[in-house]
Amino acid sequence: MGSWALKGKPAQKGNTGKSHRYPLAGNLIPHIDVAKPEWEWGGYTKEEMKCKWEINKILFRMDINSDKIPISATCVRVSIRRCHSMVLNIEYAYSRNPVVIRRKLQADPQKVVLLDNLANYVYPMPLNMEGREEVGVGRIRYTHPGNPLGLTMWVCGDQLLRGVALIAVEIAENIF
């Protein structure tokens, strides 16, 4: 750990080696890879577009520009060893109950581990998911209170063992 951290001071300006202008240590950088103006009217990076492309390609075996499942992502570089994490907001055509979704996710313990007990601080994190083949899912709740059509969940998995698109597809297979 740098002396700046031990002294409780902010990180010094530096370079992450990925052409960023800011230090990675003690920081979050909401910019991964390049951005091109033609991607979704500008404002999206390649990593964010890959979320859309890969999920639609895997689910529908179509052209990567398919909008069968509309996806909007903001990818953030975080100073951890490994594991990708994401918030999934899912809109359904009909009402879904978080309790039922939890049961469905528990039906496939080879792929998904449910870590969902906010009152007892139980949720997936890189610290408890690194090195595991299962994907951790937790913080399952209605996206907007009073609207049973939308659910939000927190997902974390070791990207060296499973890709982010595969993770999203496996969760979708369990809850649709």
Please give the average per-residue pLDDT across 128-143, as a whole number: 93
**pLDDT given for residue 55 in this prediction:** 75
Split at pLDDT 50, 70, 90, the class of 84 is: confident
Mean pLDDT of the chain: 81
Q: Is the pLDDT of residue 94 over 90?
A: no
1 pLDDT higher than 60 = no
What's the pLDDT at 17? 54
CA distance 127 to 154: 14
> How far is 153 from 54, CA to CA, in rounded Å?
20
- Which pairs count as long-range contacts for 51-54, CB under 8 Å and 24+ apart, including other chains? 51/75, 51/164, 51/165, 51/168, 54/163, 54/164, 54/165
The CATH class that applies to domain 81-176 reads: alpha beta
pTM equals 0.72
Q: Is residue 90 within 8 Å of residue 47, measured between CB atoms?
A: no
Which is more confident, 36 or 120?
120
Domain boundaries, the chain: 13-79, 81-176
